Every structure is written in structure tokens, then in C-alpha cells.
Amino acid sequence: MATEINRDEVLRITGLGGVLVVIRLDDLSQSAALTRTLLDAGITSLEFTMTNPLALQVLTEIKKSFAEFEQGQAVIGAGTVLTPADARAAIAAGAQFIVTPALNFETIKVCTDQQVAIMPGALTPTEILSGWNAGASAIKVFPARAFGPGYFKDLREPLPQLKLVPTGGVSLENAAEFVRNGAIAVGVGGNLVDKNLVAANNWAAIRQKAEALLEQVRIGRGK
């Protein structure tokens, strides 16, 4: 089942808030409440990682339950996609974008053939440019903590066409700097979706974290 929101729209919508939330939890039973909290805070992009075997089932349910994903106000995708078969399963489940931890050119091709946005993981300039030239919608620079925000400026000076999303080590303290140096959005997981806060149903604290991150993105954009 191909996504009804095209790949360019996925990036545009992700960029509205500028924070791609990576939901990597052992227990996804509170996914609906978590999604509502994040959307209400202003988050426009959610990624459910396939490290949880129920991720695709939950993704399908969440997408059907929240009109924002059908109306183009937010997008929902699958992460930690390791193989072309994983990508096909995620797209069939309704994923509007695919995120991988590393470069897999067959997985990129599955997504580009189906016109689904794909953000493969890469770190070195060679990996990043190879993924981009293979048809990636954006590159997930992972782990971003390895080189820090200044690396993004270094990459985009000779390669301004790149669309980069740092993931792994992005926090409230450095999100603005990543954006200031050229990131189109930032990927944030445990620094926002704290499993202890989720277990405690502390949605107010999670919303506060989300709003603070969104503000840092605005600051980074000079807004």
C-alpha cells in the first residue's frame, strides 16, 4: 500500500516542527496517549522503530486513529528498518516514511520504487553522498554525537543540496546548533520519549520536553 502523502510532502511536514520523534519502547501499550501528547505539543513527525515486534501493528492502529496523519498535518513512519523485506512490510502497514540505521541500497530502491520517503542512516561523507545519490529523501546522520553540530556545516558547504537529519545524541542543549548548521530537522528518541515518564503516564512532562525542543529548533532557524 503506497503512501497517500508523497515523499516531498513528508519532508515538508517533518520540517514544519523540525523534530522527528523516535519512539523506541519495549512497551507500546500507551502509544495512543503518547501520540496525542506529541501532536498536541506541535510535533509533526513520529517514527516507530521495528526493534519492537509490535511496532508495525501499532503504527497501523495509530495512523487510523489520528486524522492528522491522513490530513497532512503530521506524518508517521517506521524506523530501524534493516532489510528490503522490512521496508515492504512497513509500507504495507501504512508507514509514510522509512528510516534505516545504515546504508542498504536495496532498501532505498524498494522505497524509491514505491515513491515512499526514505532516510537511510550514514555517517561519513562517502556514505552520506552515496545514499543521497541512490535516491534518499534525506540522510539520517547517525550517530550524530560522533562529530557534533559543526560537522553539518562542514558537510553542507561543499554539498549544499544535502538534506540532513541528525539522530543519536540530539538533546535540548544542542538541537538549535544542529539546525543552525544546516539540519532540516532533528531526530530525538530517549531524550524526549523517556520510558519512565511513559510508564508513569506523565504526559505533561513529555509535552513540556517536546515544546522545549520545538522552541530550540525555532531558535536554530532564527525565528
Give the residue numbers marked as catalytic: 47, 140
Distance separating alpha carbons of residues 147 and 84, to the nearest angstrom: 29
Angle at 142 between CA 110 and CA 127, to 5 degrees: 60
Distance separating alpha carbons of residues 105 and 169, to the nearest angstrom: 25
Query: Residue 190: exposed, middle, or buried by beta-carbon count in 10 A (0-12, 13-18, 19+)?
Result: exposed
Distance separating alpha carbons of residues 128 and 133, to the nearest angstrom: 9
Rg (CA), the chain: 16
Q: Are 131 and 139 in contact (CB under 8 A)?
A: yes
